Amino acid sequence: MRRLTKKKALTLVKELDAFPKVPESYVESTASGGTVSLIAFTLMAVLAFLEFFVYRDTWMKYEYEVDKDFSSKLRINVDITVAMRCQYIGADVLDLAETMVASDGLKYEPVNFDLSPQQRLWHMTLLHIQERLKVEHSLQDVIFKAAIKAVPPAQPERYIEDVILEESPTSLSACRIHGHLYVNKVAGNFHVTVGKSIPHPRGHAHLAALVSHDTYNFSHRIDHLSFGEAIPGIISPLDGTEKISVDPNHMFQYFITIVPTKLKTYKVSAETHQYSVTEQDRAINHAAGSHGVSGIFMKYDISSLMVKVTEQHMPLWQFLIRLCGIIGGIFSTTGMVHSMVGFLVDVICCRFQMGIYRHLKVSH
């Protein structure tokens, strides 16, 4: 009884076979079929190989949401060189609430404004990258994934010794201001102007009256300016900016919009800030109606939107489905093409033979 049941079940399963086997005696191998099969297998191998590279590749996904963090502090990372002596200038931050932020985190270092050959090469390379980023926006995704960290080279010791031997220590006519500040997460103004800053009931003031106008020179170079945690993979728009002032009384203004950013790649996972910037500069001439204060002013505002940048990868199941589609599609397509070509060849040969037969019949 059990054997009978198993036999019926096996017969039922055989009837459900969607892939019936053709006996080998009915199968005929041809040279054309072998050629088509060889072409099909080659295409399958090539496309599967290319699909594997697509599977290994990653892409960046951008999402936007409202930034709900208003209580934390914002870090400002600064590295700027001004063509004035350190005792003549001061840098600080004044936010929208007229709160003066202590600049204890900033260091003033007397340097030469001219760069060494190695630093100049790095500076030109950075400017070239900045220009390409403005044209090819997809380059930023490559930098995100590669986690490139832009660090300027230090001046070689031999170069410093040559400068010191040729010139006296008092000839270091520029000042490098570098370090970081923590400010409230509101709009503010980071500026470098004449004189050291002092507290004031209405904000703050700079002791500019003690500095001669002949020493004014706000030519500057921004080696680095960023907001938030300094992480690799982000090259800030102002990095490498260099401005040369012809007029000693000159105002440089940078209007910055800061965008909170969550970056998550396979190499880096952090919260930081990106920014966009517009700039303008003008000479201060009160007689001509161009009023203002000589200096470098960076006015920043914080966007209420946050950008989430995530590196994504094709899942394995999707790769397998695409691979099956490639193999099945090529196999089916080449089979149909081979059948159609064989049918057309048979029709042409048949008509050709009929034409020869009619011609012979007429001749007889």
Tell me the mean pLDDT per 10 residues along the chain, length 364: 65 68 64 75 88 86 86 89 89 77 82 86 85 78 66 48 48 86 88 78 67 83 88 81 87 93 83 89 79 88 90 88 87 76 67 65 60
Tokens of 163: 């400068």
Tell me what pLDDT residue 252 has: 93
- Can you give the pTM of this predicted structure? 0.70
CA atoms within 13 A on the CB side of 294: 28
Tell me what pLDDT residue 161 has: 46
Q: At what angle do helices 31-56 and 316-363 cross, to 10 degrees?
A: 160
CA 55 to chain centre: 21
Tell me what pLDDT residue 27 has: 61
Alpha carbons 183 and 219: distance in angstroms, whole number? 26
Tell me what pLDDT residue 200 has: 65
Q: Residue 236 gets which letter from DSSP?
A: -
Tell me what pLDDT residue 254 has: 95
Tell me what pLDDT residue 128 has: 85
Tell me what pLDDT residue 163 has: 47
Q: Do 27 and 305 meet the contact criterion of CB atoms below 8 Å apart?
A: no
Within 10 Å of residue 220's Cβ, how many Cβ atoms?
Answer: 23
Tell me what pLDDT residue 258 has: 92
Alpha carbons 103 and 94: distance in angstroms, whole number? 11
Q: Which amino acid is at 20?
A: P
Question: Interior CA angle at 310 toward 239 and 270, to 5°?
Answer: 60
